[in-house]
Amino acid sequence: MSRSIIRNCILPVVFLLIVPDQLRAQAESTQQEKQKIRIIDKAVLQYAGGIGFVNAGVGRTFFKKNNGELDLLIGYVPKFVSEVEIWTVTLKYSHYVRKWAYKKEKLELYPLGLGMWVNQPFSKQYTKYSNRNQYPKGYYWFNNLPRMGWFWSGQLTYELKKDRALTFYSELGTYDLLLFSWSGNRETIPFYTLFNFSCGLKYRFR
């Protein structure tokens, strides 16, 4: 009789008490893991840099030290800058090799970073130059092709709260068209004109 009571009454009660807690804990753990995994974890706003007069987009940080960054940016060049309106799309990767933390890690300095980007411009001007019937083949080979650039970077991050931070960064870089032009005109093009400066802000919600 006692075994029957244990089997039919006590064990179901124990099961109902224990299993829901385990399921709840597992569900909470899964939910926390999903919250940690983000497709994007920052918004980016950048001025200049050879990819657009003003650029905005989103990005994702990688690695344990958060020293790898991949950004997707939409850029715009107004007519008063280039005489024609240009839109661009840029995929950019940055990797920072050193980190210094201050004031209990609320302030983080990455003094040296290296990176590269691939940029695709869109403009009616480029469409016109790609008309093979109007210009000799390859005459304006560079206008409607993706461009590639490289840069040195540094950034300073201030933690606003546990999962929010604001980052200021600056970059010094160059890109393929500048290098190509300089390589064939070294006597007339000063070396310092190969480089461009950019700066921007990142709002992190990691």
Domain layout of the chain by residue ranges: 1-31, 42-204
Identify the pLDDT of residue 1.
47
* Residue 43 neighbours by CB under 8 Å, 6+ apart: 56, 57, 58, 59, 202, 203, 205
Identify the pLDDT of residue 200.
98
Identify the pLDDT of residue 143.
58
Identify the pLDDT of residue 92.
98
CA–CA separation, 94 and 115 (whole Å): 4
Q: What is the pTM of this model?
A: 0.76
* Residue 39 neighbours by CB under 8 Å, 6+ apart: 60
CB 53 within 8 A of CB 75: yes
Q: Where do we find the tokens 């960064």?
A: 169
Identify the pLDDT of residue 184.
85
Give the chain's residues under pLDDT 50. Answer: 1-2, 5-7, 14, 16, 34, 139
Identify the pLDDT of residue 161.
85
Query: Which CATH fold would you assign to the domain 42-204?
Result: Porin (2.40.160)
- Rounded to the nearest angstrom, the gap between the alpha carbon of residue 81 and the centroid of all alpha carbons in its chain is 25
